[in-house]
Amino acid sequence: MKYVDEFRDPEKAKMLIDAINTITEQLEVSQQRPLQLMEFCGGHTHTIFRYGIEQMLPKSIELVHGPGCPVCVLPMGRVDDCVALAERPNVIFTTFGDAMRVPGSKKSLLQAKAEGADIRMVYSPLDALDLARKHPDKEVIFFALGFETTMPSTALTVLQAEQECIKNFSLFCNHITTVPTIKAILDSPDMKIDGFLAPGHVSMVVGTRPFDFVAETYKKPIVVTGFEPLDILQSIWMLLQQLNENRHDVENQYARIVPENGNEPAMDALTKVFELREFFEWRGLGSIDHSGVKMREVFAAFDAEQKFSVPNLKIADPKSCQCGEVLKGVIRPWECKVFANQCNPETPMGALMVSTEGACAAYYNYGNLDELLQKKEAVNA
Amino acid sequence: MTTQAVVNLRQRSGKCNADTITMAHGSGGKAMRDLIDDVFVRAFDNVELNKLEDQARFDLNTLTALGDRLAMTTDSYVVDPLFFPGGDIGKLAVTGTVNDLAVGGAKPLYLTCAMIIEEGMAVADLRTIAASMRQTADLAGVKIVTGDTKVVPRGAADKLFINTAGVGVIPAGINISADRARAGDVVVINGYIGDHGAAIVDARGDMALQNTIETDCQPLNSLITAMLAVCPDIHCMRDATRGGIATVLNEFAQSSHVGIRLKETAIPIRDEVRGMCEILGLDPLYLANEGKIVAVIPAHAADQVIELMRAHPDGRHSSIIAEVVEKPESRVILSTLFGGERIVDMLVGEQLPRIC
């Protein structure tokens, strides 16, 4: 398939793996301890597991799977709010499919749907707006979720609704931002990450400059990375090059998509509709300042949180979950106390088991579970 | 008009003039009888059914002449929408049950047909579906010999649910079972994966995609008979419906306590289906099929079987997709086209709601 197969060429992969092996052998630090490289984005995590990239890398490189899966990091209290909105009479609640299974404190959206709430899966906020046009007697609420990647499409949908004077459409806004979260990880005292693969599609919107602080302030190399398997391998090689040359720069591997300054019309729409929240709660990481956005006051008519009351309760993560430590690379997913026993994809307890993009779910689904459980036993013994 | 003709007419008018189904069509009275006569009996039309007894009756000697074991299966069909590119719920209801018999090595013979109809359904749609069932039954060489009709109030079912049960006979010497895969065997498939699942997603229209993918829904008994003729010792065989080929391969690996090494580059898949999976984030290994068999056969028979399958209209794109190995036991490993490896597990939850 054109524009896909070129980025999955096994011959080129072999060349990159050879280059990665060579450079890793030259790196002094990798002789003493494993190098930890973090891919922030859940899309990268998915590619890494789907193509078996981890097993292709030298043992001295450890990939740490970061918090960039918006479905995973959604706190339980917000899921409860979704359920409360969806269970209101005369509401059609629309959501991306992935979010249906995220557990709330009592139930997920999937369970609420089974109990009779009108919850529909959509692939774009514009589909939700279309439902609002078709059902003028119902309130159509869109569960807005995701990083800067999905923010512009939500913002443009709100602007479209405003232009068409559609009054029965609103957003339950749970959009989150990348930069404060990477900063929170970098500020964490137990952080051991040597370099970052920056999210390619977030960068397509915001550009590469917002990541300058990683290189300048924290002196860590960072490479904006695409989502095909060759993109990932090339970016890992670029990070290793930087480490080998003692550089810490922001580099752009995904230049075919990501302009340095991002996408101006998208940023305009985003800024017009949203403003930063003072803080936002993350499952696994706790509260992070300025890590979420809300709708500006002028768009209150489209804001489900202002239009309807939501319980807005803070529900603590289950104590036994170690998602935070996994997200920061302090422990590996399979080292978590509840991995694969109490916490599994059927009954996820922690953030990272929820979506297929979550690190724990990826290990559970694609890893060699028997081997991992043996390793876990050995560690605990 | 003679007196007898009037009696006949009063007994069985045989004509359903209604446009839509109402509760009366399930009441057990004349409206129901007319519906059954005019829509179902007229379409299915065969000696066993036309007797309209409460059960179909078969001559045992005729059955035993065909083999030494009876095979029986049942399946319910709740697909939404009822009509989709390349098929409809009627075609699916016959195909699915015929294939469930055929993959056990049985010659499918007779089907039942139970209809649960939501009031308000268009009678014209029922006629189309019944005609499609007959056409598919003819294609597969089976007869629909008994049935049942229920009508439920609006909202109690989604337009139409069909249950079909099937009976077939397994010839002596055929022994196909999920626990017979052995290291050294190879796994074959009769063509492109995921067409049915993709067609259903597309037909639902939820995703606003414009595609031309048609379901692969087709009876496979003719192909399977041909395969058994050249290789009576097929070890395992299932049709890869819900859960896709990944699920079937896991079932074989677990029942036989073997490993299965799947080669991504060998799996036949249409560009349109691959493209849709790329866009929607679906894994085609788990997409439903309705006309695909996955069979484990001894390696020495592989060339002959594949050659025969490719010469058959239902197997033109057949391919050897995997080999059976000793270790890792009960696991399916995919060698990715990128050169890596990953485990292909059973699906947790579902990729798509209600596909067939």
CA dihedral A349, A329, A100, B349 (to 10 degrees): -70
Q: Which of A31-40, A188-197, B123-132 has the highest mean pLDDT?
A: B123-132
Percent above pLDDT 70 for chain B: 92
From the list B206, B278, B338, which residue is nearest A51 (CB)? B338
Chain-wide mean pLDDT for chain B? 91
CATH placement of domain B17-170: 3.30.1330.10
User: Which of chain A's residues have a Cβ under 8 Å away from the Cβ of B336?
Assistant: 50-52
Q: Which residue has the higher pLDDT, B353 or A257?
A: A257
- Please answer whether residues A19 and A27 qualify as being in contact, where contact means their C-beta atoms are separated by less than 8 angstroms: no
Report yes or no: B303 at the A interface, CB cutoff 8 Å: no
Q: How distant is the Cα of A121 from the closest Cα of chain B, in angstroms? A: 8
Asked whether the ipTM of the predicted complex exceeds the cut of 0.85, the reply is: no
pLDDT of amino acid A148: 94
Using the predicted structure, report yes or no on whether residue B1 has a pLDDT greater than 50: no
Percent above pLDDT 90 for chain A: 63
Q: What is the 3-state secondary structure (H, E, C) of chain A?
A: CCCCHHHHCHHHHHHHHHHHHHHHHHCCHHHHCCEEEEEEEHHHHHHHHHCCHHHHCCCCEEEEEEEECCCCCCCHHHHHHHHHHHCCCCEEEEECHHHHHCCCCCCCHHHHHHCCCCEEECCCHHHHHHHHHHCCCCEEEEEEEECCCCHHHHHHHHHHHHHCCCCCEEEEEEEECCHHHHHHHHHCCCCCCCEEEEEHHHHHHHCCHHHHHHHHCCCCCEEEECCCHHHHHHHHHHHHHHHHCCCCCEEECCCCCCCCCCCHHHHHHHHHHEEECCEEEECCCEEEECCEEEECHHHHHHEHHHHCCCCCCCCCCCCCCCHHHHHCCCCCHHHCCCECCCECCCCCCCHHHCCCCCHHHHHHHHCCHHHHHHHHHHHHC
Backbone angles phi, psi at A90, to 5 degrees: 65, 25
Q: Which residues pair with A380 in a beta bridge?
A: none
Distance, CA of B110 to CA of A318 (rounded, Å):
55
Tokens of A374: 């043996």
**Range(s) within chain B of domains with CATH label 3.90.650.10:** 186-343
Using the predicted structure, report yes or no on whether residue B356 has a pLDDT greater than 50: no
| Residue of chain A with shortest Cα separation from B279 | A123
| Residue of chain A with shortest Cα separation from B328 | A368
Beta carbons of B343 and A13 less than 8 Å apart: no
pLDDT of amino acid B351: 61
User: Which of chain A's residues have a Cβ under 8 Å away from the Cβ of B349?
Assistant: 101, 345-346
Report yes or no: A10 at the B interface, CB cutoff 8 Å: yes
Distance, CA of A229 to CA of A39 (rounded, Å):
13
| Residue of chain B with shortest Cα separation from A228 | B338
Read off the pLDDT band of A354 (50, 70, 90): confident
Mutation choice for B interface testing from A9, A15, A50 by most B CBs within 10 A: A50
Report yes or no: A1 at the B interface, CB cutoff 8 Å: yes
Beta carbons of B278 and A4 less than 8 Å apart: yes
pLDDT of amino acid B352: 39
- Please answer whether residues A190 and A172 qualify as being in contact, where contact means their C-beta atoms are separated by less than 8 angstroms: no
Distance, CA of B38 to CA of B47 (rounded, Å):
16
Domains and CATH numbers, chain A: 1-316 (3.40.50.11740), 323-380 (no CATH)
Q: What is the mean pLDDT of residues A198-204?
A: 96
- Please answer whether residues B128 and B88 qualify as being in contact, where contact means their C-beta atoms are separated by less than 8 angstroms: yes
Report yes or no: A346 at the B interface, CB cutoff 8 Å: yes
Using the predicted structure, report yes or no on whether residue B112 has a pLDDT greater than 90: yes
| Residue of chain B with shortest Cα separation from A54 | B340
Report yes or no: B268 at the A interface, CB cutoff 8 Å: no
Using the predicted structure, report yes or no on whether residue B206 has a pLDDT greater than 70: no
Distance, CA of A25 to CA of A19 (rounded, Å):
10
From the list B278, B331, B339, which residue is nearest A56 (CB)? B339
Q: Which of A80-89, A303-312, B26-35, B208-217 has the highest mean pLDDT?
A: A80-89
Using the predicted structure, report yes or no on whether residue A355 has a pLDDT greater than 50: yes
Beta carbons of A345 and B280 less than 8 Å apart: no
Q: What is the mean pLDDT of residues B167-185?
A: 97
User: Which of chain A's residues have a Cβ under 8 Å away from the Cβ of B348?
Assistant: 344-346, 365
Report yes or no: A56 at the B interface, CB cutoff 8 Å: yes
Q: What is the mean pLDDT of residues B137-147?
A: 97
pLDDT of amino acid B9: 47
Please give the CATH architecture assigned to the domain spanning B186-343: Alpha-Beta Complex (3.90)
Q: What is the mean pLDDT of residues A229-239?
A: 97
Q: In what order do the strands lie in the sheet with B107-118?
A: B69-77, B160-170, B107-118, B143-152
Using the predicted structure, report yes or no on whether residue A212 has a pLDDT greater than 80: yes
Query: Among residues 6-65 of chain B, which lie with CB inside 8 Å of chain A?
Result: none
Q: Which residue has the higher pLDDT, A356 or B37?
A: B37
Q: Quick one: which of A338, A350, A324 has its CA closest to A64?
A: A324
Query: Among residues 316-345 of chain A, which lie with CB inside 8 Å of chain B?
Result: 344-345
- Please answer whether residues B183 and B328 qualify as being in contact, where contact means their C-beta atoms are separated by less than 8 angstroms: no
Beta carbons of B343 and A369 less than 8 Å apart: yes
**Range(s) within chain B of domains with CATH label 3.30.1330.10:** 17-170
Read off the pLDDT band of B349 (50, 70, 90): low
Q: Quick one: which of B132, B140, B90, B135 has its CA closest to B110?
A: B140
**Tens-digit pLDDT profile for residues B12-71:** 557 898 999 999 999 888 999 999 999 999 999 999 999 889 999 999 999 999 999 999
Q: What is the 3-state secondary structure (H, E, C) of chain B?
A: CCHHHHHHHHHCCCCCCCCECCHHHHCCCHHHHHHHHHHHHHHHCCHHHHCCCCCCCCCHHHHHCCCCEEEEEEEEECCCCCEECCEEHHHHHHHHHHHHHHCCCCEEEEEEEEEEEECCCEHHHHHHHHHHHHHHHHHHCCEEEEEEEEEECCCCCCCEEEEEEEEEEECCCCCCCCCCCCCCCEEEECCCCCHHHHHHHHHHCCCCCCCCCCCCCCCCHHHHHHHHHHCCCCCEEEECCCCHHHHHHHHHHHHHCCEEEEEHHHCCCCHHHHHHHHHHCCCHHHCCCCCCEEEEECHHHHHHHHHHHHHCCCCCCCEEEEEEECCCCCCEEEECCCCCEEECCCCCCCCCCCCC
Q: What is the mean pLDDT of residues B115-124?
A: 96
Q: Quick one: which of B249, B259, B276, B299 has its CA closest to B351?
A: B276
Q: What is the mean pLDDT of residues A206-226?
A: 97
User: Which of chain B's residues have a Cβ under 8 Å away from the Cβ of A121?
Assistant: 206
Report yes or no: A3 at the B interface, CB cutoff 8 Å: no
User: Which of chain A's residues have a Cβ under 8 Å away from the Cβ of B331?
Assistant: 368
Largest pairwise CA distance in chain B:
82
From the list B275, B328, B348, which residue is nearest A1 (CB)? B275
- Please answer whether residues B163 and B37 qualify as being in contact, where contact means their C-beta atoms are separated by less than 8 angstroms: no
Report yes or no: B155 at the A interface, CB cutoff 8 Å: no
Beta carbons of A124 and B208 less than 8 Å apart: yes
User: Which of chain A's residues have a Cβ under 8 Å away from the Cβ of B280?
Assistant: 123
Report yes or no: B275 at the A interface, CB cutoff 8 Å: yes
pLDDT of amino acid B353: 34
pLDDT of amino acid B209: 64
pLDDT of amino acid B231: 97
Mutation choice for B interface testing from A7, A123, A231, A353 by most B CBs within 10 A: A123
Distance, CA of A334 to CA of B303 (rounded, Å):
43
Percent above pLDDT 90 for chain B: 79
Using the predicted structure, report yes or no on whether residue A102 has a pLDDT greater than 90: no
Report yes or no: B329 at the A interface, CB cutoff 8 Å: no
Distance, CA of A154 to CA of B214 (rounded, Å):
33
Distance, CA of A277 to CA of A184 (rounded, Å):
16
Beta carbons of B340 and A53 less than 8 Å apart: yes
Q: What is the mean pLDDT of residues B331-353?
A: 80
| Residue of chain A with shortest Cα separation from B345 | A365
User: Which of chain B's residues have a Cβ under 8 Å away from the Cβ of A15?
Assistant: none
- pTM higher than the cut 0.90: no
pLDDT of amino acid A372: 78
**Tens-digit pLDDT profile for residues A306-352:** 999 888 888 887 888 888 888 877 888 889 999 988 898 888 887 78
| Residue of chain B with shortest Cα separation from A7 | B338
pLDDT of amino acid A169: 98
User: Which of chain B's residues have a Cβ under 8 Å away from the Cβ of A50?
Assistant: 336, 342
Q: What is the mean pLDDT of residues B251-269?
A: 97
Q: How distant is the Cα of B315 from the closest Cα of chain A, in angstroms? A: 23
Backbone angles phi, psi at A373, to 5 degrees: -70, -35
Q: How distant is the Cα of B122 from the closest Cα of chain A, in angstroms? A: 24
Q: Which residue has the higher pLDDT, A134 or A314?
A: A134
Q: In what order do the strands lie in the sheet with B186-189?
A: B236-239, B293-297, B186-189, B319-325, B259-263, B332-335, B341-343
Report yes or no: A269 at the B interface, CB cutoff 8 Å: no
Q: How distant is the Cα of B338 from the closest Cα of chain A, in angstroms? A: 5
**Tens-digit pLDDT profile for residues A106-121:** 999 999 999 999 999 8
